[in-house]
Structure 1
Amino acid sequence: MSGGAPDPQTEERRPPGRRRLGLALLTVAALTGGGVAFTALATPEEPPAAHPGAEGPPPATAPVTRGDLTDSSQQDGMLGHLGERKINAGGPGGTLTWLAPSGSVVGRDGRLYEVDGEAVRLMYGSEPMYRTLKSGDKGTDVRQLEENLAALGYTGFDVDEEYTVKTAAAVKRWQESHDLKRTGTVGPDRIAFAGSAVRIKEPGSGSGTGSSGGDRVAPGDRIAPGSPVLTVTGSERVVTFRVPAAEAASAKTGTRVRVVLPEGARLPGKVTAVGRTATAGDDPQDRTPRIDVTVSFDDPAGVEGVDQSPVTVELAGETRRDVLSVPVNALLALPDGGFGVQVVENGAARDVRVELGMFAQGRVEVRGTGLREGMKVGVPS
């Protein structure tokens, strides 16, 4: 009869091991459905039980293996560049005559843009270039300038926070190397500071004459002081992704990862930044608070791929070393509530009680009396 309740007699004739296997898999699925590993599942304190010939040989077997088991997870990420920021026009303004092209990388002393034919160059530092520096000035911006001059080979002064006549002499040598008037003073009409080399993402949104609001500036536009000229990022390739706040511990700073690029390459890296504030995602169906995570590659120069390409981040979690494990689907749910595996030896099968440890990579750590590496355990065909 089809569509009705199961025949009790048929149900009783069904092999008991098959019922146990189905129950075990349902139980494991419930415990691991969220991708969360667990350890030291409680089992009765009675000695491990063995039941020779419980069901006869299973349809297929798999070996008990010994080795390391790592609880890993995968996250969807995005390939990009580190840190986006604006570079605004310094000096009195004028006509924009040149812009560094999008996608190019500008390093120390490189040209970012030109106004009225005069270049504004990049120097490294965290503090913006907000004033014209001259002899007698003091401050961290002075130290930044002197550090850059020294790195470029213009020496003969002490690198400190005081702009001296020796600093001015070095500035004059730098000006001469760029065919500029040798004034010994320098300001935001000649230098813009950023933390390191920058990658040009795109021109800034124009706010001067010749460009309407929201349009990108282009050579020929009039640039007002303080208006955005360029949008830049760091030159280093990175991956960003988001994890639920409850799982933030799986992506701590320093956590080793592998990034799977769109073409299939798997590159090593590590978590270098974790956000401190959790925010809801954009998906209206999932408002779980999430935290931003940044991954840097071990070899950034070797990373290829288009910006904003989707990637997969493989996070390595806890590792159990030198443990016995079996495929998850080898587990049996024993009649008294514990778990076991069906060991096959010399053509005979017996159920052996086990304690469960970590679930990872489709396997589960097991401990049980008499279990050893190389044993065969029953699995579904």
Structure 2
Amino acid sequence: MSRARSRTLLAVGGSAVIALGAGIYAGTRITSPADAVARTAAPEASEVTVPVELRTLNSEVVTRGDVTSAGAVDITPETGGLEMPPIVTGQVPEVGAEIAEGAALLEIVGRPLIALAGELPMYRSLRPGMSGPDVEQLELTLERLGLDPGEVDDEYTGATGNAVAELFERIGYEPPEPDPQAEQELDAANDQVDQAEDAVEDAEDALDAAGDAPGQDGAPVDEDALQDALDDARDRLDDAEAARDEAAVAAGTPLPAAEVVFVPSLPRRVDEVSVRRGGEVDGAVMSVSGASLVVTANVDDADHERLAVDQPVTIEVPTGEEVPGTITAIEEATGDEATGWDVTVTPGELTPEQAEALRGANVRITVPIESTDGDVLAVPLAALTAGPGGESRVEVMRDGVAELVEVAVGLTAEGYAEVSAVEGTLAEGDLVVVGDGGEDDASGG
């Protein structure tokens, strides 16, 4: 065989091998229509299962609320009775200051404006001899402050005035001056007592002298007449002393309306001050709100049914801490577009830092409703189905075979239900069906 023919055969053979390889590769890339459909079809449906868990379940209401100070009040002194312009002379508080009961809020023309707790406003000046519900409120307040107003009733007595005087002295001010006319009447009553005492003394001297010497012209002295004169003098003294005591009460320490302001509760926080030292009072001088904070949340009817006054809650402080609180009021929401129920929560004891962080914040509130006693068997709510008689069941997969197990359902919370087997067995780790892997699951990812 010639060398040329050998080269030809090798070339032909190589081409054939290449063609065979190309045909095999092409064959692996060709797909029939039936194969294409089979490869893109959804997988055969299969059950989606999750294991039965041991967990503690907690049922709770979680909502959010706004933190505000309790009941803001504008302080407006009664200055109509002053004889001079109501100039602020001192004691101007700073915003954020706390006002305690019995303390001076402000000083006007050198006199204090004292804060006291009470529902009735100071609508008139009070003085001994007056009576009314505002007097009773004053006496209750004085007694609460450790001052002695005498018997707590609706009568302003001398003891009431003495307690008022002590209230002013306690904060470093002279007590209010008594009514000038009442002082004049007291002075006159004291003069009458002095005169009556002199008359008694003279009558006593005359009676004593009658037994020591004979009467005029030697006639016996009429001691009976002298005794009658002494008795009359003593009666006049009793009357004068009674009038003096009454005048003394009337001249006791009064309580000017310009020097006291009643607010519903104390202590309170100063939110705004609208006067300055040297300025003139014209209307409200400051706005004060309760030093205590409250949280107001709104819940729907379903959550309202689960809540009650005095329930404990947890409040999340913006700093990340949690503080306890208590539901103190539940009222139907009012207003043009109001819906649901307004729930008032009062925080427990707060540190100054916590109070400052809460003030004006919107916070998370958690109200625990019910809890299991430790860990219990629990399944997702989606695992529960209803039997023909309304009984609750779960479907348990055992070695690829589904078994229906009737269960008793306890607490449901956090998307889970507490369960225990009524018939059959159920244990931690058992796989329960919560759905299937049909077209919906496949298409939904």
TM-score by length of 2: 0.60
The verdict on how the C-alpha distance between 1:126 and 1:379 changes in structure 2, with shifts beyond 3 A counting, is farther
Return 78-87 or 300-309, whichever deviates more: 300-309
For residues 95-244 of structure 1, the aligned pairs below 5 Å read: 95-97=87-89, 98-155=91-148, 157-177=150-170, 178-183=172-177, 184-203=253-272, 216-224=274-282, 227-244=283-300
Query: Does residue 259 in structure 1 map to residue 315 in structure 2?
Result: yes
CA RMSD across the alignment: 3.6
**Structure with larger Rg:** 2
Shift of 1:109: 0.9
Corresponding position of 1:51: none
Contact 1:330–1:342 (CA under 8 A) maintained in structure 2: no
Q: Which ranges in structure 2 are unaligned for 5 or more consecutive residues?
A: 1-36, 178-252, 435-445
Mapped to 2, the partners of 1:275 and 1:228 lie a distance apart of: 31
Which of 92-101 and 323-332 deviates more? 323-332
Larger relative strand fraction: 1
Q: How does 1:79-90 map to 2 (within 5 A)?
A: 79-90=67-78
| Counterpart residue identity of residue 94, structure 1 | P
What SS does the corresponding residue of 2:160 show, helix, strand or coil?
helix
Distance 1:172 1:335 in 2: 82
Please name the residue that 1:289 is paired with. 339
Secondary structure of 2:287's counterpart equals strand
TM-aligned CA deviation for residue 62 of structure 1: 4.1
Please tell me whether the aligned partners of residues 157 and 167 of structure 1 are also in contact (alpha carbons under 8 angstroms).
Answer: yes
| Residue-by-residue CA offset, 1:65-109 (whole Å, 9 max, x unaligned) | 5x6x44312111122322222221223361234432211111111
Match of 1:52 in 2: none
Equivalent position of 2:51 in the other structure: 61
CA change 1:11–1:120 in 2 (3 A) is same
Q: After TM superposition, give the deviation of residue 163 of structure 1 in Å.
A: 0.6
Alignment partner of 1:360 out of 389, 413, 424: 413
Write the mapping of 1:334-353 to structure 2, written as runs, cut at 5 A.
340-343=393-396, 350-353=403-406
Task: Please name the residue that 1:273 is paired with.
Answer: 329
Q: Decide which of 317, 325, 331 is 2:383's aligned counterpart.
A: 331
Q: 1:359 corresponds to which letter in structure 2?
A: T
CA, structure 1 residues 62+330, in 2 after alignment: closer, same or farther (shift >3 Å)?
farther
Matches within 5 A, 1:301-320: 301=351, 303-304=354-355, 305-318=357-370
Paired residue for 2:45?
Answer: 14
Q: Is the 8 A contact 2:51 2:432 kept in 1?
A: yes
Counterpart pick for 2:65 among 66, 69, 77: 77
What is the aligned-residue identity percentage? Answer: 24
TM-score normalised by the chain length of structure 1: 0.69
Paired residue for 1:94? 86
The Cα of 1:203 is off from its aligned counterpart by 2.7
Q: Which residue of 2 aligns with 1:26?
A: none
Q: Structure 1 unaligned runs (5+)?
A: 1-5, 19-57, 205-215, 281-286
For the residues of structure 1 that align with 2:136 and 2:309, how far apart are their CA atoms?
31
Deviations 1:237-295 (A, max 9, x none): 22122223564333332222111111221222111122344335xxxxxx561332211
Distance 1:332 1:12, change over 3 A: farther
CA distance in 1, matches of 2:99, 2:45: 73
- Give the Å deviation of 1:133: 0.8
CA contact (8 A) 1:64 1:376 kept: no
Larger helix share, 1 or 2: 2
How far, CA to CA, are the matches of 1:162 and 1:107 in structure 2? 26
Q: For residue 347 of structure 1, report the CA deviation from its aligned partner.
A: 9.8
Q: How does 1:26-65 map to 2 (within 5 A)?
A: 58=49, 61-65=51-55
Compared CA separation, residues 276 and 105, structure 1 to 2 (3 A)? same
**Count of residue correspondences:** 313
User: Partner letter of residue 124 of structure 2?
Assistant: R
